[in-house]
């Protein structure tokens, strides 16, 4: 089945770099939008960063820019600003995640763009949001994991505060922005006028902590560092087994709690006043964990996972990432898309690699990226030609260093 392309005909000016913005625009490309990645002549900084490479290009860049076109232009130059004006006159969306205020000098901030090109829906991703005393600060995933409170509940007393192992605030802010852009675009179809869509790492962090923050607001108590455990439920976390770890969500309801006890051979626990309800189990979490692990450490993880599955209690082993790449469930979802680095895009040598697809499907159809990430300036000549520049003018701009044309 051919993948749906609901955004076919939508043109996006992608002024993003690093993770959050690039992730948002790559998902738009998978939905059929034409995404023109606007890069400085030196390229997106992620082209040169990271430790792994595919076809000579950074895997960081390759993982975040599939399916895009590359227009390399110096918009600090007057001629480069004219290129940007022509491009924006034909765009529906603009997405950026620059330091707040840094694009104003180039006429690419929201107010300037909206005044000249009112049709554009403008997506802006920042660390702290676009208002408030911290709005002008730049922000990275690590920094906002700390500032948002995520790290205050991640880790253990032994480890101290720990960051989540992947840049989930970056990815979440990108997803938030993409969602807002789609809503803004629908509104523009009604009104003819674009709007500003603001997303931030801080706001996504707060959203992720929503139930925890609501509880703290009522109780006034900090949950603290609970390792894999939950501040609201027990048993709900990681437990030692004979050969490793089992993650169990045995407190989704009181019925589930009783089923978990039966499956573990601990039928006496529901009658113990220390474990009689959710509040009591959370208050006596250490004693509960000791009782459960005394049983779990008698058998391997797989034994207990099957028993809990049979009892209708969610449980899982902790998979390594290499194992996840080969997991049949991931293959069934079509979550990994093979691409060729260097064949038609970035990278100087032909090499295969995989990129993670969008975390959703339409009509049960896997959404795919229309091609590999672009080489720097790969599409400069074609984009400028579409904007009305004749070949000799494009060559003049390239000779002057205003654009890079591969």
Catalytic residue numbers read 170
SS3 for 163-183, per residue? CCCCCHHHHHHHHHHHHHHHH
Q: Which residues contact 243 (CB under 8 A, 6 or more apart)?
A: 300, 301
**Could you tell me how many residues make up the chain?**
406
Rounded Cα distance between 376 and 364, Å, is: 34
Rounded Cα distance between 165 and 173, Å, is: 16
Sign for the CA dihedral angle at 326, 332, 334, 339 comes to positive
CB 352 within 8 A of CB 53: no
Cα angle, residue 206 at apex, residues 164 and 33 outer, rounded to 5°: 80
Residue with tokens 């902590």: 209
CB 337 within 8 A of CB 347: no
Q: Name the residue among 108, 117, 93 with its Cα closest to residue 187.
A: 93
CB 369 within 8 A of CB 66: yes
At 142, list the tokens: 């690590």
CB 155 within 8 A of CB 225: yes
CB 124 within 8 A of CB 96: yes
CB 315 within 8 A of CB 297: no
DSSP symbols for 270-288:
GGSGGGSSHHHHHHTHHHH
Q: Name the residue among 74, 54, 11, 147 with its Cα closest to residue 354.
A: 54
Rounded Cα distance between 224 and 105, Å, is: 44
Residue with tokens 């009112």: 118
At 364, list the tokens: 């049960």
Question: Is residue 224 left, alpha or beta, with left meaning phi > 0 and alpha meaning psi from -120 to 50?
Answer: left
């Amino acid at each position: 089945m051919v993948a749906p392309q609901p955004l076919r005909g939508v043109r996006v000016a992608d002024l993003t770099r690093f993770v959050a913005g690039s992730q948002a625009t790559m998902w738009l490309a998978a939905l059929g939008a034409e995404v023109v990645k606007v890069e400085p002549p030196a390229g997106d900084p992620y082209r040169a960063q990271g430790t792994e490479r595919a076809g000579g290009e950074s895997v960081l860049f390759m993982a975040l820019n599939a399916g895009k076109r590359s227009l390399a232009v110096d918009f600090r130059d007057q001629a480069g600003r004219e290129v940007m004006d022509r491009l924006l006159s034909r765009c529906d969306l603009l997405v950026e995640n620059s330091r707040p205020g840094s694009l104003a000098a180039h006429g690419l901030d929201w107010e300037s763009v909206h005044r000249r090109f009112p049709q554009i829906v403008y997506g802006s991703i920042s660390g702290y949001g676009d208002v408030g005393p911290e709005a002008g600060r730049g922000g990275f995933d690590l920094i906002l994991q700390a500032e948002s409170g995520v790290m205050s509940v991640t880790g253990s007393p032994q480890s101290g505060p720990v960051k989540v192992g992947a840049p989930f605030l970056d990815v979440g802010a990108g997803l938030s922005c993409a969602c807002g852009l789609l809503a803004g675009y629908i509104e523009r179809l009604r009104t003819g006028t674009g709007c500003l869509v603001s997303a931030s790492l801080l706001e996504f962090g707060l959203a992720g902590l929503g139930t925890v923050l609501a509880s703290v607001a009522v109780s006034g108590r900090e949950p603290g560092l609970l390792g894999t455990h939950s501040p609201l439920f027990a048993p709900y976390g990681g437990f030692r087994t004979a050969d490793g770890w089992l993650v169990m969500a045995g407190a989704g309801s009181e019925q589930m709690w009783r089923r978990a006890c039966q499956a573990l051979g601990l039928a006496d626990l529901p009658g113990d006043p220390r474990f009689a309800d959710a509040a009591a189990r959370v208050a006596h979490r250490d004693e509960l964990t000791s009782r459960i692990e005394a049983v779990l450490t008698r058998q391997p993880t797989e034994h207990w996972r099957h028993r809990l599955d049979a009892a209708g209690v969610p449980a899982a082993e902790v998979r390594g990432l290499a194992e996840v790449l080969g997991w049949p469930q991931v293959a069934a979802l079509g979550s990994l898309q093979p691409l060729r680095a260097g064949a038609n895009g970035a990278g100087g040598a032909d090499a295969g690699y995989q990129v993670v697809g969008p975390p959703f499907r339409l009509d049960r159809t896997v959404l795919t990226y229309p091609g590999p990430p672009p080489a720097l300036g790969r599409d400069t000549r074609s984009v400028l030609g579409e904007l009305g520049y004749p070949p000799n003018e494009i060559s003049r701009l390239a000779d002057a260093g205003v654009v890079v044309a591969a």
